[in-house]
Amino acid sequence: MKKTVTTLADGRELIYYDAGDGEARAGYTDRRPLEPAHRNAETRFDEVQGEWVAIAAHRQDRTYKPPADQCPLDPSTEDRLTEIPAPTYEVAVFENRFPSLGGPDGGRCEVVCFTPEHDKSFADLTEAQAALVLEAWTDRTAELLARPDIKQVYCFENRGEEIGVTLAHPHGQIYAFPYVAPKMDRAVASAEAYLARTGRNLFDDLVERESADERVVEENEHWIAFVPFAARWPYEAHLYPKRRVADFTELDDAQRAAFAPIYLSLLRRFDGLFPAADGTPGRTPYISAWHQAPKRPAGTAAQVALHAEIFTVRRAAGKLKYLAGSESGMGAFASDTTPESAAIALRGAGR
């Protein structure tokens, strides 16, 4: 992999990741007359919930559903200048122009462009392309965790207008939190309590139990995907490496080689849940959330395991799962499907 680092016109960092030589991508400069980048987000602490909240009012002005021929994530052309100055790329990562994190409290938000092809989806990538995205996630995780202001690195993808996506180009994001996010904080506490109670790792035991259950969707030698026992969303699957690692940087060569086939297959299963009228796979809206262990003191072992949680807000063809008052207001979820039936549907939805 070749990594090329350059700077956009407003001072934000842009990084190209290429499987080949990258064709001197740094030679393409950003010719846009941009104002200095926004770095005025702040974090505030909710004393009742014990959680940090990001305040980023400037995001009201972010780009909102531009037409396809005005997409800021496409490569630049002579007639149209975008966030990517090069005329093409393989994977590109840049600082978000409208970040939720940053400023005096620290943190960083990045955009990850999976492909230059506007009409593609992650599920349409080749295994080699997906493997390059994994290398980009790994590199960004290592670099961001090395910063003193960062405590957790979160890689994720939102897809579909139903999720709230405002840019249709296939892309994801990376949030480097200056605090441990609420859901991760609870996971750390649960894992530490489990260790104290049993002397074992919670995630090791979880994967062992799930591997023998009817809710397994698919697996290979190094990864396993299953619908969790207490799934919150109508269709939800978790993907784990069978050998526990804390984050992307700890994956070995065998795990990396086995990643792309199962991850692409799992995303395609979600697309197969709700086919188009002609029977071809649809474009199921989903969130793919990669959980990585937060930064910990040197010499201490991580109890949280790297894994992806993939879920959709679509509960049936033409029907969305809206969070009710008990769910939004109290965090008390009620699922519209059984995890067992969801696993059956996902197993039958492959392509």
- In our burial notation (b when 16+ CB lie closer than 10 A, e otherwise), range 301-337 reads ebbbbbbbbbbbbbbeeeeebeeeeeeeeeeeeebeb
Task: Write out the two tokens for 127.
Answer: 């295994």
Q: Is 38 annotated in the active site?
A: no
**Can you tell me the distance from the alpha carbon of 18 to that of 25, in angstroms, rounded to the nearest whole number?**
10
For the chain, where are the E strands, in sequence order?
2-7, 13-18, 42-46, 51-55, 91-95, 108-113, 152-159, 171-177, 216-219, 223-226, 235-241, 286-291, 307-312, 314-316, 319-320
Closest CA to 211 of 222, 201, 226, 196: 226
Single out the catalytic residue among 38, 58, 118, 171: 171
Q: How many CB atoms lie within 10 A of CB 208?
A: 11
Active site residues: 171
